[in-house]
Amino acid sequence: MTTPTDLNALKTRQQTAWASGDYAVIGTTLQIVGEQLAEACELHWDERVIDVAAGNGNATLAAARRGCRVTSTDYVPALLERGAERARAERLDVQFQAADCEALPFDNASFDVVLSTFGVMFSPDQPKAAAEMARVCRPGGRIGLANWTPEGFIGQLFKTLGRHLPPPPDVQPPSRWGVEEHLHTLFGDQAKAIDVTRRLFNFRYRSAAHFIEVFRTWYGPVHKAFAALPEDKAKALETDMTALLNGLNRAGPGALVVPSEYLEVVITRR
């Protein structure tokens, strides 16, 4: 019999991975996703908003720019400080608090809107994270998510990483949050409606080599993957990533533009 994965130990390893490098270098390029999600959620001035697994605060800033009273949370304090730097630069009044998305330290129905862009989807215990988001959202409120799909570029990138460093077999991949049926499984009992829009984010770099250099330096999961592999296996991972990037590049020679599909999700709380 296979021993079940210790989810707390896995979460600790993930936290270490996200704290390595500096996700903010990547995160700032994704700001448009937070802006589009804020519009999709029809945010109102003075609404209480929490950004869960906020990273360096793309959805946080988008909500604050629309006059909301925002609490930005993540379990990596250094990323919250990056978000705080951005908020101070724009004179935005935002509360920042270290918090685990599977155990949010807030009362039931504390917020009008709960947001997460490419964050909560990486929680090891997916049902618990979904339940916590629903718990802190008031009845009639909205839960807004941006989740990479399994078929899109980032979903394929994580499959590529998994071929070189296999994940625990009994833990669902983060890209399950990018499957509409799975969202109904996670939120169905708490949702009055689940509206899903497929969108594309374009990663723009000089070349495949430039993308890999940036991600292996700053993006925690890729950074840790390369660090964990011996030289020959790291080279094989680089070769596979290069093939994936070049195969999806729509810019032609001399540039790299890779579209990555994600689900923009707006859940109305029952």
CATH number at residue 65: 3.40.50.150
Q: How many residues make up the chain in this entry?
A: 270
Whether 207 is in a domain gets the answer no
Whether 227 is in a domain gets the answer no
Whether 26 is in a domain gets the answer yes
What average pLDDT score do residues 140-155 get?
98
What average pLDDT score do residues 152-156 get?
98
- Domains in the chain, number: 1
Whether 40 and 264 have beta carbons less than 8 Å apart is answered as yes
What average pLDDT score do residues 18-46 get?
96
* pLDDT at position 2 over 70: no
CB atoms within 10 A of CB 131: 16
Whether 242 is in a domain gets the answer no
Alpha-carbon torsion (262, 165, 7, 212), positive or negative:
negative
User: What is the band of 22 on the pLDDT scale with cuts at 50, 70, 90?
Assistant: very high
Both tokens of residue 35? 């802006």
User: What is the band of 134 on the pLDDT scale with cuts at 50, 70, 90?
Assistant: very high
User: What is the band of 142 on the pLDDT scale with cuts at 50, 70, 90?
Assistant: very high
Q: What integer pLDDT is reported at residue 20 of this predicted model?
A: 86
What average pLDDT score do residues 239-257 get?
97
Instruction: Record the pTM.
Output: 0.96
For residues 4 and 81, the model is more confident at: 81
* pLDDT at position 4 over 90: no
Whether 49 and 112 have beta carbons less than 8 Å apart is answered as yes
Whether 139 is in a domain gets the answer yes
Whether 63 is in a domain gets the answer yes
The 10s digit of each residue's pLDDT in 77-120 is: 999 999 999 999 999 999 999 999 999 999 999 999 999 999 99
DSSP per position, the chain: -PPPP-HHHHHHHHHHHHHTTTHHHHHGGGHHHHHHHHHHTT--TT-EEEETT-TTTHHHHHHHHTT-EEEEEES-HHHHHHHHHHHHHTT--EEEEE-BTTB--S-TT-EEEEEEESSGGG-SSHHHHHHHHHHHEEEEEEEEEEEE-SSSHHHHHHHHHHHHSPPPTTS--GGGGG-HHHHHHHHGGGEEEEEEEEEEEEEEES-HHHHHHHHHHH-HHHHHHHHHS-HHHHHHHHHHHHHHHHHH--S-TT-EEEEEEEEEEEEEE-
Range of the domain at 54: 7-150+166-201+261-269
Mean pLDDT rounded to a whole number for the chain? 97
* pLDDT at position 1 over 70: no
Whether 194 is in a domain gets the answer yes
The 10s digit of each residue's pLDDT in 209-221 is: 999 999 999 999 9
The 10s digit of each residue's pLDDT in 33-64 is: 999 999 999 999 999 999 999 999 999 999 99
Whether 83 is in a domain gets the answer yes
